[in-house]
Structure 1
Amino acid sequence: MTDAARSLYIAQPALSRAIRDLERELGLTLFARSGRGVVVTTQGLRVVKLAREALDAVHEIEGLAGQGGATEAELRIASTPSLEPGLAGRLLPAYSAEHPGVRVHIVRCDGRDAVVSAIRDQRADLGLTDLPVPTDLITHPLERQEIVLISPPGLDLPNPVPMRKLNGMRLALPARGSLRRRELDAMFGRYAVAPVVVLETDERNGWLKAVRNGQASLLWYRGMAEQASRAGLVVRSLEPAVRRVIAVVHARKRLPLIAQDFLTTAEKGTAA
């Protein structure tokens, strides 16, 4: 109760009184005392679920009103930098062609964890990221995107590159301890390879700079291959191929109509 009151910027006794008044008005017991304080009752959980659905419906009505009036509707989509080119170049044009009255705002997030946080904090309606994500989010898989090796020119490597060739290769990698780094380390362990780590950072511009300077190679999504090729870098597949599932994700709640329409457009584009 103390933590809840602090997050609401009200005094704890005032919050307790408000809850007692609500319980009295509804004729329900929403909280029960336990050894550690209070816990939400089964009735309380049901009330919370229905209240959230009611508030979501109100927001959806407000969105409809915005589309019908002078106010432009806005859809907020969180995306990682690696996936943003595909979002902006393929998904958004198809959606905007069908829904010209909706303004789409891309919430740029530095990695999967940041996308999840943007959705949980309600700074974004939808997120575009690779899987897995926590189970409190709903996922709509769209495609499997290949992980490729991006290298400076002049390296004597076949295409595709056998996984064993990564042993001793100079690589720029995400920061140690990050989720993406743990996934790559697991892949290295699976194939018994030990690359030479030249750079450890979550700054993607730093990765590309290291490759352009000839210091290291980089493992990145195929969707970034065009950008790398324009920079004069060499893109090669891996053998065996490594792919990640890319999905649209959102909170477990009723989505605004404009977000539902985006999902329909994205899934339709994937099917095509």
Structure 2
Amino acid sequence: MNLQQLRYVVATAEHRTMTDAARSLYIAQPALSRAIRDLERELGMTLFARSGRGVVVTAQGRRVVKLAREALDAVHEIEGLANQTVPTDAELRIASTPSLEPGLAGRLLPAYAAEHPGVRVHIVRCDGRDGVVSAIRDQRADLGLTDLPVPTDLITHPLERQEIVLISPPGLELPNPVPMGRLHGMRLALPARGSMRRRELDAMFGKYAVTPVVVLETDERNGWLNAVRAGQASLLWYRGMAEQAGRAGLVVRSLDPAVRRVIAVVHARRRLPLIAQDFLATAEKGTAA
């Protein structure tokens, strides 16, 4: 077994066809098939099963692919040790939801930049938690900042618990905190039906036997705020956005009982680049402080 065979295994698992994998590796398809067969014979196991015009990773193959990725990542990291200087074009990509980006930009990034001035951080703006998960899976981002839960194929590093509050137009006669029962019949702007966040809110409404009047259903956050500014509806959002809402002349109230969500840094189950590992260490150090 050698590193070249491991690269072939990973490429075949990612592309799901020998033809596409061979094209990505710039080798002939028969050469790739032969190398895979040789490795399977050496290991005494079947890594890929034929399925139509493509291949499917077997149960044993999934384990081998996972270890192969880890081995290749480790080799890449070892090679990087030859030069400890961070390249001038080093870039860390962090996916974030709009509601959590202000905290990322205002607190985590300055602390990281102070320790790693040579790294450029690019924020991948995503429309909600589902967008962050997709950015990680598609390798458009190294790390993601979102609320939990996320699918189990991602690793999570919880940072803090953030309160969900009610943001309303001025003039509503409501106590602070607002009892959950007062949400019954309240005009609300909500995420799109079927989205993960909407399902969580619907579960909360069901738990407290309340049925709001849905004025707007969208995942566009500007649409939510515009509806509240226009006096058309109220909005359930994170406490971290309260400052923005206050500047817009809106009223922020807590809920009773309080509702909080865990905010975490998430990433794929693979060895992270060193600059991403450093960001995690900075974030967790800031949380501990």
The answer, yes or no, to whether TM exceeds 0.5 is yes
Is this contact kept in 2: 1:67–1:101, CA < 8 A? no
- Alignment length (residue pairs): 272
Which segment is superposed worse, 252-261 or 85-94? 252-261
By how many angstroms is 1:258 displaced?
A: 1.1
Match of 2:108 in 1: 91
Contact 2:88–2:118 (CA<8 Å) still a contact in 1? Answer: no
Query: What TM-score does the superposition give when structure 2 sets the normalisation length?
Result: 0.83
Output the CA distance in 2 between the equivalents of 1:111 and 1:43: 35
Matching residue of 2:216: 199
Shift of 1:188: 0.3
Q: Closer, same or farther in 2 for the Cα pair 1:66/1:161, shift >3 Å? A: farther
The answer on whether the counterparts of 1:66 and 1:73 sit within 8 Å (CA) in structure 2 is: no
Question: TM-score, normalized by length of structure 1?
Answer: 0.88
Of 205-214 and 37-46, more deviation after overlay is shown by: 37-46
What is the match of residue 68 of structure 1? 85
CA contact 2:86–2:119 (8 Å) conserved in 1? no
Task: Give unpaired runs (5+ residues) of structure 1.
Answer: none
| 1:145–1:243 CA contact under 8 A, matched in 2 | yes
Residues 235/66 of structure 1: CA separation in 2 closer, same or farther (3 Å cut): farther
Percent identical pairs in the alignment equals: 92
- Contact kept, 8 Å, 2:87 with 2:118, in 1: the verdict is no
Q: Is the 8 A contact 1:80 1:108 kept in 2?
A: yes
Show the counterpart of 1:122. Answer: 139
* Distance (Å, rounded) in 1 between the aligned partners of 2:113 and 2:23: 41
- Shift of residue 84 of structure 1? 0.3
After TM superposition, give the deviation of residue 68 of structure 1 in Å: 1.9
Further displaced range: 162-171 or 3-12? 3-12
Deviations 1:58-90 (A, max 9, x none): 443566678626533111111011100000001
Q: Distance in 1 between matches of 2:89 and 2:83?
A: 6
Relative to structure 1, the CA distance from residue 162 to residue 70 in structure 2 (aligned partners, 3 Å threshold; closer, same or farther) is closer
Return 39-48 or 95-104, whichever deviates more: 39-48
CA distance in 2, matches of 1:246, 1:122: 21
- 1:89 to 1:35, Cα distance in 2 relative to 1, 3 A: closer
Which shifted more, 62-71 or 253-262? Answer: 62-71
- 1:270 is displaced (CA, Å) by 1.0
Closer/same/farther in 2, CA of residues 66 and 125 from structure 1, 3 Å limit: farther
SS at match of 1:67: coil
Matches within 5 A, 1:49-64: 49-61=66-78
Task: Decide whether aligned partners of structure 1 residues 3 and 133 sit closer, same or farther in structure 2, where only a CA change above 3 A counts.
Answer: farther
Could you say if the C-alpha distance between residues 58 and 167 of structure 1 is closer, same or farther in structure 2, counting changes exceeding 3 Å?
same
State the secondary structure of the residue aligned to 2:150. coil
Q: Contact 2:161/2:261 (CA < 8 Å) preserved in 1?
A: yes
CA contact (8 A) 1:66 1:72 kept: no
Q: Structure 1 CA distance, aligned partners of 2:267 and 2:252?
A: 32
